[in-house]
Amino acid sequence: MSKKPIIVFEGIEGSGKSHHISVVSKYLTKKKITHIKIREPGGNVSSEKIRRLILNNKSNFNKNTDLLLYLAARSENINTIESSYKKKVILIDRFTDSTIAYQHIGMGVDINLIKILNKFLLKNIKVDFTFLNLVNKQNLYSRLKKRKSLNRYDKFDMSFYNKVQKGFVKISKVNKKKYQLVNSNLDIKKNEQLILNTIDQLIK
Ligand code: TMP
């Protein structure tokens, strides 16, 4: 594996992935390891514009439009990723697995279409490792309730998130060596340590 890997943080809402990616970014900064941290949808000025459009509560796109908008946002990130690929550690908050889990498994968009579009955008870019954060229904519910404002994708019913989370787990089983499952119902500090131990292995 490259010493400058692409590391992705995946999981449903309230699973703690954004917290953990920030902890990892601070850790790398402390160790003076050059890295970039981006999120999807979003990550740069143009992509953040698309994010606001997709997640706006007043938006009412169909599932195919959503797919194309998520991929449009990804398209705007590819240059950013390419310019740091194998030169810096790249941390990404959600990436291609989210598209399969939400748009295909959750919403039923054609998987082949998603694969073709991702391949077209990513070309030779490959994710090296993924932390998949898992949360139970109770914690998901209470974490969403605590959020100050909910966007369009924070408002699905619990069965949808359950389906998407099971989808993520299924995806991870295809290449188990490239995934670490993080049980975010457990102690957050212990999880941070588990993740940082793996990060040490990934960048050594
Ligand atoms: P976030 O709140 O974790 O930043 O994610 C925003 C939402 O976008 C989240 O509900 C998942 C959704 N999403 C997709 O449905 N498909 C995708 O390809 C990506 C990247 C995100």
Burial level of 121, CB count in 10 A (0-12/13-18/19+)? middle
- What is the mean predicted confidence (pLDDT) over 68-80? 97
Report which protein residue has its CA nearest ligand 1's atom 9: 153
Identify the bridge partners of residue 90 per DSSP, sorted by sequence position.
Answer: 6, 36
95-111 pLDDT, tens per residue?
999 999 999 999 999 99
Domain ranges of the chain: 6-203
Share of the chain above pLDDT 90, in %: 95
Of 59, 64, 68, 70, nearest in space to 155 by CA = 59
Cα–Cα distance between 201 and 98 in angstroms, integer?
Answer: 25
Cα–Cα distance between 33 and 136 in angstroms, integer?
Answer: 34
pTM of the model: 0.97
pLDDT band at 148 (very low <50, low <70, confident <90, very high): confident
Above 80 in pLDDT, residue 52?
yes
- What is the mean predicted confidence (pLDDT) over 141-159? 92
* For ligand 1, mutation pick of 9, 21, 94 (most atoms within 8 Å of CB): 94
CB 172 within 8 A of CB 50: no
- Phi, psi (5° rounding) for residue 2? -60, 145
DSSP 95: -
pLDDT band at 113 (very low <50, low <70, confident <90, very high): very high
pLDDT at 3: 82
Asked whether 167 lines ligand 1 (CB < 6 A), one says no
State the distance from the centre of ligand 1 to the C-alpha of 94, rounded, in angstroms: 7
Report which protein residue has its CA nearest ligand 1's atom 16: 99
For residue 96, what is the enclosing H or E element?
helix 96-98
- What is the mean predicted confidence (pLDDT) over 168-184? 97
**Mean pLDDT for all residues in the chain:** 96
Top-confidence residue, 147 or 134: 134
Cα–Cα distance between 193 and 195 in angstroms, integer?
Answer: 5
Cα–Cα distance between 42 and 33 in angstroms, integer?
Answer: 23
pLDDT at 181: 98
6-203 maps to which CATH number?
A: 3.40.50.300
Of 194, 193, 163, 198, nearest in space to 177 by CA = 198
pLDDT at 192: 98
Sheet with strand 179-183: strands edge to edge: 35-39, 89-93, 6-11, 129-134, 179-183
